[in-house]
Chain A
């Protein structure tokens, strides 16, 4: 029962922390809760579909299907999150002012809501399919251990959701004038970490074979298998043995998002000068 609880807790946390950060980063957009909820539902539905088709996905592309699929959805998540950060940064001043003075939220339109929903769906789907398969296996194991394992799983689910909720509430205490900068940075690092993970999947698939040897190994200081290492891996992309290509993907992603965030501001400043 303990083993089931820990495993489910871990998987739920991996998705939940991402959802919590993204939710906190979208403060000020109305209907974001509905987008997130739809994303969660889509993620759960997607998880079930992926679980059902695990074998055929895995066999595709000469046995590389799982890695290629994972890389694909990870890159989609990176795009959605990057777009989200840039959009939020553009509208941050506007939203801060409105939230502070009027207490009202900015009508955002379809696009940021869609990016939000897709990012959430991807996060849930990645871990969700593993959970579906794990639970299915539990049920197959037979009556005796099934109930205690299912009970452990429910506990794990609750704990994971609670901890993710705690992160979200913790982030919501950041003062208004700082919240978009801080959460924007968090989502940037999140996206960078996912980009590095996509590189790892492509490398494991054997389609990306350059700069693919680990440059260092910090597992003796901070193992990814431990709790702190795992949480840092999810939130900021900590990697105990990064390869050159992973480091490149991480820094290029972070730099691109930060660059896109700051460039428009300079452009607006120039425009205002001439006005």
Chain B
């Protein structure tokens, strides 16, 4: 019997599950291995507002932003300009990685509270 997963569907599924579990706990390529230095930054979300609302970072460098959600409700950190979206559960943290940016202003917002949760990243 040939199915969409080949002649041994269960073996295929098992292999996929094992591979996933294996990768889940494996250390990934460390961020510093990416070309160039890595700049870290932090944004806190409190009462559906970002602090800082304006984040200044150097242009042309890889950025790793840690977004701390201090609210109980989940929020989605979203930015068309940066091409990222990350759901951050309530009272938890999310990591947003940005590739090197050209100098400029890049807007971001919290999709679930777009009236108050707004900010921008300024690359210079």
Contact = CB atoms under 8 A, between A and B. Distances in A.
Interface of A: 3, 7, 54-55, 58-64, 66, 83, 110-111, 114-115, 129-130, 133-134, 136-138, 140-141, 200, 203-207, 209, 212-214, 219, 223-225, 240-241
A223 B80 contact: yes
A61 B86 contact: no
Contacts of B89: 54-55, 58, 133
Interface of B: 3-4, 23-24, 27-29, 31, 34-35, 72-76, 80, 83-84, 86-90, 92-97, 99, 111-112, 114-115
Given A58-B89, A206-B97, A200 B34 contact: no
Contacts of A241: 83
A64 B95 contact: yes
Nearest to B94: A58
A130 to B, nearest CB: 6
Chain A interface helix/strand/loop/mixed: helix
Contacts of A136: 73-74
Contact of A240 (B23, B24, B80, B86): B80
Contact of A130 (B24, B28, B35, B76): B76
Contact of B74 (A61, A66, A137): A137
A7 B84 CA distance: 18
A165 to B, nearest CB: 25
Contacts of B90: 137, 140
Given A64-B28, A129-B87, A204-B83, A111 B4 contact: yes
B87 A130 contact: yes
B99 to A, nearest CB: 6
A66 B87 contact: yes
Given A58-B87, A111-B4, A224 B80 contact: yes
Nearest to A212: B99
A121 B48 CA distance: 31
Contact of B112 (A134, A207, A209, A214): A134
Nearest to B35: A209
B105 to A, nearest CB: 13
Given A3-B114, A138-B73, 18 more contacts: A54-B87, A55-B92, A58-B94, A62-B27, A64-B95, A110-B3, A111-B4, A115-B4, A130-B76, A134-B74, A137-B90, A140-B72, A203-B99, A207-B28, A209-B34, A209-B35, A219-B80, A241-B83
A87 to B, nearest CB: 10
B112 A137 contact: yes
Nearest to B69: A55
B58 to A, nearest CB: 17
Contacts of B75: 137
Closest 10 CB pairs of A and B: A137-B73, A63-B95, A133-B74, A55-B89, A54-B89, A55-B92, A62-B28, A140-B73, A206-B97, A134-B112
A133 to B, nearest CB: 4
A209 B114 CA distance: 30
Nearest to B78: A225
Contacts of A212: 99
Nearest to A50: B87
A52 to B, nearest CB: 9
A137 B95 CA distance: 20
A213 B101 CA distance: 9
12 contacts: A7-B114, A54-B87, A58-B89, A58-B94, A62-B28, A66-B86, A66-B87, A133-B76, A137-B112, A203-B99, A206-B29, A209-B35
